[in-house]
Structure 1
Amino acid sequence: MRGIRSFNSIPKRCYAARRSGSLTEPLALRKTSAAPLTPQNVQVSKLPNGLVIASLENHSPMSSVGLFVKAGSRHETVENPGVAHVLRLAANLTTKGSSAFKICRGVEALGGSLSVTSTRETTVYTAQCLRDDVPSLLEYLSDVTTAQEFRQWELEELTTRVKIDKAMGQQSPQIGVMEKLHEVAYKNALSHSLYCPDFMVGHVSPKEMHAFVQANFTTGRMALVGLGVNHSVLRQLGEGLLSSRSGPGAPVALAAYRGGEARMHSRDDLVHLLVASEGSAVGSAQANAFSVLQHVLGAGPHVKRGSNITSKLSQGIAKATSQPFDATAMTASYSDSGLFGVYTISQAGAAGEVIKAAISQIRDVAEGNVADADIDRAKNQVKVEYLMSLEDSDGLLQEIGAQALMTGTYQAPDTVLQAVGAVTPEDVVKAAKSFVDGRKTMVASGLLVNTPFVDEL
């Protein structure tokens, strides 16, 4: 291995060594390329059993396949909180067709990878390998997603991993306040945490796991997405491997926004404060307006290791407090609801001034005091941020899968950019007004001696 790693230390000038004489003839060993491969568009089809198949043939020697399932934490019930978190960590356990060792060994033998991620709405199983090995790797993917066994002793062995995963995920105050924000903002569904609650750690039973899978892992709630895969091949594989999960699945409860407040007291002099109101569902025109408003106010630094001094939030806070405290606008969109708000980090003594100054900037926009140049800048930032998310295969796979699962179709980037470009100043002002007039949700953590209550904002 040291010999391989030593190549990284070779100076770049070694690759630029001059060759005596000019190269006028092609190298003898170089094969002339065939006709250029034509780029293809994303193909989407829906099987009679409800399974959505989406693919993009990019002619890459590496293929990526993702199975997107509507089985996030929002689909948990009062009886089984935390089951989605345990399910995410149980992806490598023994199935009816393969042992845990066989799955690991088989995927390694193909030189591939198999991973799982989850959000409040979806669980995504992703497999990557050389394109010729896609059928073999998909057999393991099918086992992991449709033939789970959930043996009691294997679930018990997951307890330590669940605790560690939860501790690592919630070690930052930002994640803590975001989790608490959803818990307070909604009555059901989206109020469920991404992590297993303490009282359920080690107590999620195989019966609860099987019930959750049976209710949610059905073809009517799945999308099979591939990059570097022929659409007909992916469709044939989907018909064969996932046929055992036919059905529409259990009905999904709509999220009910309520608003409220949570104050998490500690001795930390650094106060993290998040104030939000209900936003808009993903894919809607109003969601685009909220995204533009977010960047008008300031969505974080755009220069590496730089400050956020150009944002309206930072400018307003600096003017009110004479100190450059951190503040960013946030937005989160889901299939049936969303959140929009402002997140501030400040010293305990200035927390009240900082959050009031930040909210005053949103009120300023709601009154129409926003320049067209600021809106144009914000729309450009939204467009670039979206296009950059599609630059790598993981981001592109996630985008295609999210659209295919949500709508059963796919909108090309040009269509998305046109929708963002169609946002008007009036749309942005309307979005700001909806925040100002809407019912608020506030979460604060730290030394809250000078932190106002939500009804005082």
Structure 2
Amino acid sequence: MAMSTLKTPVLNSIAKRCYATKTAALSVKGPEIQTKKLPNNTLVVAAPSYPTKIGRISVTFLAGSRYEDPENAGISNLIRSNAGLSTSSSTTFAILRNLGHLGANYYVSSDRETITYTIEAHKDNLIEGLKYYIESISQQTFRPWELTDNQNRVEYNLSFTPPELRALDFAHKAAYRDTLGNSVILPKYNIKKLGSEHLLYYVKKNFTTDNAIISSIGVDLDTLARVSEDLNLPKSQDRNVAKAKYYGGDVRKAKDLNTTYLAVLGEGIKYGDSQSAAFAVLEYLLGKGSSVKWNNGQGVLEQSILKAGVSGNFAVSAINLNYSDSGVLGFVLAYSGKDSSKALNAAVQSLKSPTITDAEVARAKKQLLYSLVSTSENGSQFLQHITYQASVSGNVLPLEKLVSAVEKVSVEDVKKAASKVASSKLSLGGYGDVASTAYLDSL
């Protein structure tokens, strides 16, 4: 139904001029990004002119799960869970009390590549809070009795791990076996096995100057350089970092759940590859959910499942993950019904040969551009964005270059990206009610 305002003759004539069918190039200029390699080989990245009253600083180490050994599986997750405990200079109570009185937020995240410590506070209070923030990174002691006291909370957090994350974790295991296939989830058998000495050794080995990236929003490079000096990190030790190799396969775990969670991945590209923009557009073409709340998504994945006439409820979203030396593209599917194979087959066939038209590519590019601009306007998300870029590529591209790269993507570029995924061996991770789920080689 037409908008009622457009029924007015005068407004209708204005609309014909304003809502032109030909879309002009998106004119956008993001915050200025400054980067610098310090004499100690630590990379610092800052957006000092970002319009915010909140200062945010992240210290990131290349110490994620891919650097773990089978003996210490999950140790990066455990280090994250035990962040903020007593240091050699301050107790846990002192850290919590002083940061709390400053109105500061302090949190730690970890993934397959990195462990990141982040503090955010009003700019007037941020500098005062850095003392405790820096101590909690470079002076960790992991006292055995504190680790024991914290075990219940670690187990509690693990029990709330989203099932879709477990499915995606299994898919990575099938895809890479080791390196990027190492689980980001701490296995239960290592909660009590990994003690103070294991954590201290892992930190000493990986929390070094060459493996550190210090990034910020609303804080200048000089402040980050002083943070690096106060951290006083040791020089890097020699460590053998194996390159990720994609294999493909099938890993699943049955659980007493009413829903089947499936992740299917094909081989993608590393971050910074010349096809990065095309793969990003392909992700949105496959579908990231609905733009209208409680409605069906416009992506070709969801549309293909709907056309297959499945009887159960489902949710599906494409996923494109770019790492420092490899990448994956595929989807995560949740299905509540007796037979998930029908929905899985429809989604897999759509992943192998998606409908790529001018209209679909144009829609995907607009949604991707919105996501990029929206991220740049959220301080926390933008900090994560530039931190990840710096961590996996050693460089940060300004927003306008990212936007320009997306606008230049053609239909042929997207078809080439889709062809690369289709030609690779797929990987499946399953969790939940997977007893009747078909294996990939039977689809």
Into which bin does the TM-score normalised by the smaller protein fall?
0.7 to 0.9
Alignment of 1:32-43 (within 5 A): 41-43=32-34
**Residue number in structure 2 paired with 1:105:** 97
Residue 418 (structure 1) aligned to one of 381, 396, 404? 404
Structure 1 residues 303 and 186: alpha-carbon distance in aligned structure 2, compared to 1, 3 A threshold: same
Distance 1:413 1:248 in 2: 35
Q: 1:239, CA displacement in angstroms?
A: 4.3
Aligned residue identity for 2:420: S
Distance 1:315 1:111 in 2: 46
Q: 1:290, CA displacement in angstroms?
A: 2.0
Write out per-residue CA displacement over residues 306-341 of structure 1, whole angstroms, 9 at most, x where no aligned residue. 222x32222222222265743332222211111112
Q: 1:200, CA displacement in angstroms?
A: 0.6
Given that 2:80 and 2:115 are in contact with CA atoms closer than 8 Å, whether structure 1 keeps it comes out as yes
Q: 1:174, CA displacement in angstroms?
A: 1.2
Residue 257 (structure 1) aligned to one of 236, 246, 260? 246
Q: 1:142, CA displacement in angstroms?
A: 1.5
Given that 1:330 and 1:340 are in contact with CA atoms closer than 8 Å, whether structure 2 keeps it comes out as yes
Unaligned runs of 5+ in 1: 1-38
Distance 1:233 1:46 in 2: 14
1:271 equivalent to 2:257? Answer: no
Given that 1:96 and 1:147 are in contact with CA atoms closer than 8 Å, whether structure 2 keeps it comes out as yes
**Residue number in structure 1 paired with 2:327:** 338
Aligned residue identity for 2:83: A
Number of residue pairs matched by the alignment: 412
**Residue number in structure 2 paired with 1:286:** 275
Q: 1:159, CA displacement in angstroms?
A: 1.3
Q: 1:429, CA displacement in angstroms?
A: 1.3
Work out which of the two has the higher radius of gyration on C-alpha atoms and give 1 or 2.
1
Given that 1:218 and 1:249 are in contact with CA atoms closer than 8 Å, whether structure 2 keeps it comes out as no
Residue 49 (structure 1) aligned to one of 34, 40, 61? 40
Q: Percent identity?
A: 29
**Residue number in structure 2 paired with 1:316:** 304
Distance 2:261 2:101 in 1: 47
Residue 199 (structure 1) aligned to one of 179, 189, 195? 189
Distance 2:256 2:317 in 1: 24
Q: 1:268, CA displacement in angstroms?
A: 4.2
1:63 equivalent to 2:55? Answer: yes
Q: 1:76, CA displacement in angstroms?
A: 1.2
Taking structure 2 as the reference length, the TM-score comes to: 0.87
Structure 1 residues 64 and 448: alpha-carbon distance in aligned structure 2, compared to 1, 3 A threshold: closer
CA RMSD of aligned residues (A): 2.2
Distance 1:109 1:255 in 2: 44
Given that 1:42 and 1:55 are in contact with CA atoms closer than 8 Å, whether structure 2 keeps it comes out as yes
Aligned residue identity for 2:179: A
Q: Residue 79 of structure 1: SS of its match in structure 2?
A: helix
Structure 1 residues 364 and 114: alpha-carbon distance in aligned structure 2, compared to 1, 3 A threshold: closer
Distance 1:446 1:86 in 2: 25
Structure 1 residues 95 and 446: alpha-carbon distance in aligned structure 2, compared to 1, 3 A threshold: closer
Taking structure 1 as the reference length, the TM-score comes to: 0.84
Distance 1:230 1:320 in 2: 54
Write out per-residue CA displacement over residues 50-105 of structure 1, whole angstroms, 9 at most, x where no aligned residue. 11122222364331111111111112112211211111121111111211111112
Distance 1:389 1:213 in 2: 31
